[in-house]
Amino acid sequence: MRFEEIDHTADVGIRAYGQSLDELFANAAEGMSSLIADLSTVKPVGEVEVRVTADDIPTLFLRWLSELLYVHETQRFLFSSFDAHVAGTALVGHARGETIDKSRHELKLAIKAVTRHGLTVDPEKGFAEVIFDI
Amino acid sequence: MVEGWNGPLEKVDRFRYQIPRTYKREMRTDGLIFIDEPLLPLLRQDRAPEQVANVATMPGIVGQSMAMPDIHWGYGFPIGGVAAFDYEDGVISPGGIGYDINCGVRLIRTNLTESEVRPHLRALTDACFKNVPSGVGEGGLVKISRQDLSKMATDGIEWSVGKGYAWPEDPDHIEAKGRLPDADFSHVSDRATTRGKDQVGSLGAGNHFLEIQKVDRVYDERAAKALGLESVGSVAIMVHTGSRGFGHQIATDYIDVCERVVKREKIELPDLQLACAPIGSKEGQDYWKAMCCGANFAWNNRQLITFGVRNAFADVLGRPADALGMGIVYDVCHNIGKVEEHVAAGGRRKVLVHRKGATRAFPAGHPETPATYRDVGQPVLIPGDMGTCSFVLVGQPAAMDLSFGSSCHGAGRQMSRKAATRTYSANEVLQSLERRGIYVHAASRAGIVEEAPGAYKNVEDVVRVAEGAGLTKIVARMVPLGVVKG
C-alpha cells in the first residue's frame, strides 16, 4: 500500500508509506491527489517540475504538497503520478497529469491548505502523516 | 482510531465547564467551554479540549481560553474557539483565525412564500447552481485583474457597490459594514493574488453551500419582525462560504512567517500550528493587514454570490430582485480576528479577539449593531446540515460579559467523511431528502455523501446551549427547500 486516508471526524489526512524520503514524498502527493479526484480517470499527459527548499524535512514536505495544490488550483490541473528527489532539504519533483475535464474526471474534495498539525515524515519508520484543511 | 480526552472539566454552571489552569503548568489562564451535560460525551470524543488548554498557554491572553458548544478538533486552535489577546502585550495567530479567512454566512430575505416558490423550486435551485460556480476546480463569477483585486481587497464591499454588484443599502447589513479598513494589499503575496483573482463569486466545496430556505418556526416575534423573518413559510436564501484560495494562501503564507517568529522570539508553544507573532511586531502587523484583505475579499465573494442569486430569482420569476424584496438580513464572519474593546480582567481593554468557528454576537444597543436591529441585537446566523435546519439568533448582553461578544457558528461533524462514505450512498441521501421536499443540486456525488445530514451533530443542541448560557437568543428556525452544494 502506498498510502491510505486517515479517518478523522472533522478533517481529512493521508498516511503515506515508503522506505525513503523520495518514496514518502511521492506517495503522499499521490494520496493528496486521490482525495481531490478519482485518479483512475486522470491521464499523465502533461508534466510540471516542482523545486522547493526549506530548513527542515517536515517544512520541505509541507511546501512540496502546498506547491502541488497551488498548481492544481491556479492551472486547474489534476495530477496522478509523481516522482520526488530529496537532497538535503531541497527537492526536485515531477508531477504528471492533465487539465480538469468535468465530463471525464470524477472530482471529490477541494483542499484549502496543507496543515502542520500532527505532521510526521519518518522514513525510518516508513511512513508520513499529513492533515489537510478542507 | 481517534484519541479521546480525559482531562479535568469542572462544572461552573449548567452551560459552562472549566479546564482549570492547574491542568498544565504552561497555562496562563483557565479554559472555559460553553457546553451542557448531554453534549459532554461528544466533547470528550476528540482532543479539542486539549487545544482549548493549549491556547491558554499563549502570551497576552486576556480572560479565559474559550470554546463554543460546537467545539471540535481543529489545527492548533479548536474549531469553535474564542480567544482575546491584549493589544499591547498579546499575539496574533493566523491558525487562530483559520485558513478560510472570513468564512461566514449571509442570509438574504425575499417577500415570497413557500407556496409561491414550490412550483419553481427546481428551476430556482438550478438557476442558482448555474449562476454561482461551485465545486473543485471552478473559477468565479467574474475574473478580475490584479489591480482590481487590490482595490477590492482594500475597499471591501464598496468595491461591489461601485461595480453594481451590491445595492447601496447592502453594506449596512454586513458585519463591519463589509470592510476592515486596515487592509493593505502590499502584504498579500503574488501567489494569493493568483489563487484569488479567478475565484471571486464562487462557493467552493466541502461544507459550503447555498440554500433556499423557509422560515419554519418563529421563537421571538419582535426580533423576527425586525429581521423581516416574522412570517412562517416566508422564503430566504442562506450562503455559507469564505475567501477561497485568496484567504487560504494568506493563511498558509503567514503561518510560515509566524513559525519563524516563534523560533526567533523563543515563544514556547505546545503545538507549532499555534504559531503567532506579537501584535505590534512587523510580522504581526503584516499578517493583520493581509488578513483584512482576506476578509474584504470574502465579503465581496458573498456579494457576487448574492448578485448571482438575485439574478437567478429575477430570471426565473420574471420580476426584478428589488420587487422580490431580496435585501440582506445580515452577513456574519465566523473565522476572523477583530480589534475590539471589552471589559475584562477588571477594566476596559483593547484586545484582538480571535474567532475560529465562532460568530460575533453583539447585543441590542451596541454601536456596531446595525441601526435597524439596534433594539433586538445583532443577527447571528447558524447553519445546520442540508437535511435539517439552520437558526437565526440575536446577540444578548451576557455575551459581552461572558464570551467577548461571541457565540457558536454551526453544527460540527460527528462522523468522519470516510465513515459517511461507508454509511451512505448519494442516491439514498438524495431520495431521503426528496421525500422531505428538499431538492439538491450538487457539483459532485462525493459532496452529497460526505455532507449527509447524519454526519453532523444536531444543530439544535448547539443553539440550545448558546441560548441557555445567555450568549444569544433564538429568533427563527429555517429549513431547506433547495440546496446547492460544491
3-state secondary structure chain A: CCEEEEECCCCEEEEEECCCHHHHHHHHHHHHHHHHECHHHCCCCEEEEEEEECCCHHHHHHHHHHHHHHHHHHHCEEEEEEEEEEECCEEEEEEEEEECCCCCCCECCCCCEECCCCCEEECCCCEEEEEEEC
- Considering only CA atoms, which of A67, A69, A1 is closest in space to residue A35? A69
B412 touches chain A (CB under 8 A): yes
ipTM (interface predicted TM): 0.91
Please list the pLDDT of chain B residue by residue as tens digits (486 residues).
Answer: 467 899 999 999 999 999 999 999 999 999 999 999 999 998 998 899 999 999 999 999 999 999 999 999 888 899 999 999 999 999 999 999 999 999 999 999 999 999 999 999 999 999 999 999 998 877 889 989 999 999 999 999 999 999 999 999 999 999 999 999 999 999 999 999 999 999 999 999 888 999 999 999 999 999 999 999 999 999 999 999 999 999 999 999 999 999 999 999 999 999 888 999 999 999 999 999 999 999 999 999 999 999 999 999 999 999 999 999 999 999 999 999 999 999 987 889 999 999 999 999 999 999 999 999 999 999 999 998 877 899 999 999 999 999 999 999 998 788 888 888 889 999 999 999 999 999 999 988 887 888 888 888 889 999 999 999 999 999 999 999 999 988
pTM: 0.96
B251 touches chain A (CB under 8 A): yes
Please report residues of A whose CB lies closer than 8 A to that of B206: 109-110, 112, 134
In this structure, are strands B91-92 and B104-113 parallel, antiparallel, or unpaired?
unpaired
Residue B385, pLDDT score: 82
Q: What mean pLDDT is predicted for residues A104-117?
A: 90
Asked if A9 lies within 8 A of B137 by C-beta distance, the reply is no
Angle A107-B440-B216 from CA coordinates, rounded to 5°: 140
Interface of B with A in 88-117 (CB under 8 A): 98-100
Residue of B nearest to A5 (CA): B418
Q: Which of A70, A100, A110 sits opposite B205 (nearest CB)?
A: A110
Interface test with A, best of B252, B422, B445, B457 (most A CBs within 10 A): B252
Residue of B nearest to A133 (CA): B99
CA-based max dimension of chain B: 65
Asked if A113 lies within 8 A of B72 by C-beta distance, the reply is no
Residue of A nearest to B251 (CA): A113
Q: Could you give the CA distance from residue B212 to residue B13 in angstroms, rounded to a whole number?
A: 38
pLDDT tens digits, residue range B339-357? 999 998 788 999 999 999 9
Q: Could you give the CA distance from residue A69 to residue B250 in angstroms, rounded to a whole number?
A: 14
Residue B1, pLDDT score: 45
Q: Could you give the CA distance from residue B486 to residue B483 in angstroms, rounded to a whole number?
A: 10
Residue of A nearest to B95 (CA): A115
Residue A36, pLDDT score: 94
pLDDT tens digits, residue range B39-82? 999 899 889 999 999 999 999 999 999 999 999 988 889 999 99
Cα-Cα-Cα-Cα torsion A74, A76, A82, A88, nearest 10 degrees, comes to 0
Please report residues of B whose CB lies closer than 8 A to that of A37: 136
Coil, helix or strand at residue B434 = helix
Please report residues of A whose CB lies closer than 8 A to that of B447: 108
In this structure, are strands B335-344 and B234-241 parallel, antiparallel, or unpaired?
unpaired
Q: Could you give the CA distance from residue B391 to residue B216 in angstroms, rounded to a whole number?
A: 10
DSSP secondary structure code for residue B240 in this structure: E
Interface test with B, best of A107, A129, A130 (most B CBs within 10 A): A107
How far is residue B366 from each of residues B26, B86, B142, B395, measured CA to CA in Å? 36, 21, 36, 10
* Contact of B404 with B342, CB cutoff 8 Å: yes
Residue B2, pLDDT score: 60
B428 Cβ contact list (under 8 Å, min separation 6): none
Asked if B2 lies within 8 A of A8 by C-beta distance, the reply is yes
pLDDT tens digits, residue range A44-93? 999 999 999 999 999 999 999 999 999 999 999 999 999 999 999 999 99
> CB contacts < 8 Å between A and B, how many?
108
Residue of A nearest to B242 (CA): A112
Interface test with A, best of B417, B418, B450, B451 (most A CBs within 10 A): B417
Please report residues of A whose CB lies closer than 8 A to that of B357: none
Catalytically active residues of B, by annotation: 409
A65 Cβ contact list (under 8 Å, min separation 6): A28, A29, A32, A114, A130
B1 touches chain A (CB under 8 A): yes
Interface of B with A in 342-361 (CB under 8 A): none
Q: Could you give the CA distance from residue B97 to residue B251 in angstroms, rounded to a whole number?
A: 9
Write out the residues of chain A at the interface with chain B, using a CB-CB cutoff of 8 A.
5, 7-12, 36-37, 59, 66, 70, 72-74, 76, 78, 100, 102, 106-110, 112-117, 131, 133-134
Asked if A133 lies within 8 A of B100 by C-beta distance, the reply is yes
Residue of A nearest to B203 (CA): A110
Angle B318-B304-B216 from CA coordinates, rounded to 5°: 65
B73 touches chain A (CB under 8 A): yes
Q: Which of B72, B194, B252 sits opposite A10 (nearest CB)?
A: B72
Give the CA radius of gyration of chain B: 21
